[in-house]
Structure 1
Amino acid sequence: MEAEEMMEFLQEFPEHHKMILDRLNEQREQDRFTDITLIVDGHHFKAHKAFLAACRFFITVFSSPGHVLPQIFSIL
């Protein structure tokens, strides 16, 4: 297929990233597909591990659970 023919099928989605984040937030709010609970000062926050793993701290925690003291962070 030539480049010109391929361009006919090209479609851009400039807001795709926003749509993905909105859908993940909706799922979190509905407690759908959440796989971790963060507890901060007695407040419970449901979350998606994949989303948290965008932060290097959580990659470290998820990759080596013994790296962080259990009294500071525990996976429920």
Structure 2
Amino acid sequence: MEAEETTECLQEFREWQDCFTDITLIVDGHHLKAQKAVLAACSHVLPQIFSVL
């Protein structure tokens, strides 16, 4: 699967009744729903932060 297809697939999951999101980030007043697992996979810091929540 190409990166663009993966991005589109993740976007579809995110929009599908929000049932695959488990965290809401608030940035400049905007609420962004996301998956902790996806965010943690892309960060060196977030797995440590999520493990104490």
Taking structure 1 as the reference length, the TM-score comes to: 0.53
* Matched AA of 1:62: F
SS of aligned partner of 1:53: helix
Alpha-carbon separation, structure 1, partners of 2:3 and 2:9: 10
Counterpart check, 1:46 vs 2:33:
yes
Tell me the distance in 2 between the aligned counterparts of 1:26 and 1:53. Answer: 20
Gaps of 5+ in 2: none
The yes-or-no answer on 1:56 pairing with 2:32 is no
Structure 1 residues 32 and 20, CA, compared in 2 at 3 Å: closer, same or farther?
Answer: farther
Question: Between the two proteins, what is the percent identity of the paired residues?
Answer: 51
The whole-number CA distance in structure 1 between the counterparts of 2:52 and 2:26 is 19
- Root mean square deviation, CA, Å: 1.9
Q: By percentage of residues, which structure has more strand?
A: 2
Aligned-partner SS, 2:20? coil
Where structure 1 has 5 or more consecutive residues not aligned to the other structure, the ranges are: 1-14, 66-76
Q: Distance in 1 between matches of 2:39 and 2:12?
A: 16
**TM-score normalised to the size of structure 2?**
0.70
Question: Aligned pair 1:36/2:20, yes or no?
Answer: no
The structure number with the bigger radius of gyration is 1
